[in-house]
Amino acid sequence: MRTKSILKLFTCVAALQLGAITAEAADSPWLIRARVIDVVPDESSTVSIGGEITAGKSIVPEIDISYFWNDYFATELILATSKHSIGATGTSLGDLDLGHVWALPPTLLAQYHFNPYGQIRPYIGAGINYTIFYNEDPGDMTALEYKNGFGYAFQAGVDIGINDNWAFNLDTKKLYLNTDASINGGVATADVDLNPWIFGAGFAYRF
């Protein structure tokens, strides 16, 4: 009888400890999301030889890490890189194939979460990014260079709870990216606003 009582007590303590661990995990300040994003440039430009620059869209994976300072406020670091086909139309040299370029815009956002205890948890965010351009392919040109730079970012999204740890995520961001492009060593130049919309869907895990 005494052995059974000890076993019952041990079982109750273990259950309480497991519940505490689960609650602690659910209350962790860290959250990670994995999304598939569609990066759609909303470009405008001023080109020294006339015409305008065009940039193709790109579908790529994205990872972000969030830290919750309290139930409502979080900061989020977004990491993704995308490849874009670049061209120029209506220039004095005709339409040009400017190859492609990779863009890496690490973005830091401050977020407000409206309904942190509900199943549907919308949020908004604003922050900054620094865009790094690399692996340029000049296409029809001899050389093509892009200047790295800072920009702004805005965000709206929603986490839809699946269980205590997992959620389905939908997210939209607007990035304001400007770059100066130099073609063939400065023979032609362009001031380009890429300003992409980024539409994403994926999953979030709170641990």
Provide the 3-class DSSP secondary structure of residue 207: coil
DSSP annotation of 186 reads G
| CATH number 2.40.160.20 is the correct assignment for the domain at 29-206 | yes
Q: What is the pLDDT of residue 82?
A: 97
Per-domain residue ranges of the chain: 29-206
Residue whose tokens read 């009582």: 5
pTM for the whole thing? Answer: 0.84
How big is the chain, counted in residues?
A: 207
* Three-class SS state of 142: coil
Tens of pLDDT, residue by residue, the chain (207 residues): 444 443 343 344 334 343 433 334 457 899 999 999 999 999 999 999 999 999 999 999 999 999 999 999 999 999 999 999 999 999 998 999 999 999 999 999 999 999 999 999 999 999 999 999 999 999 988 899 999 999 999 999 999 999 999 999 999 999 999 999 999 988 899 999 999 999 999 999 998
pLDDT confidence of residue 71: 95
Look at residues 62, 96, 58, 56 and name the one whose alpha carbon lies nearest to residue 77: 62
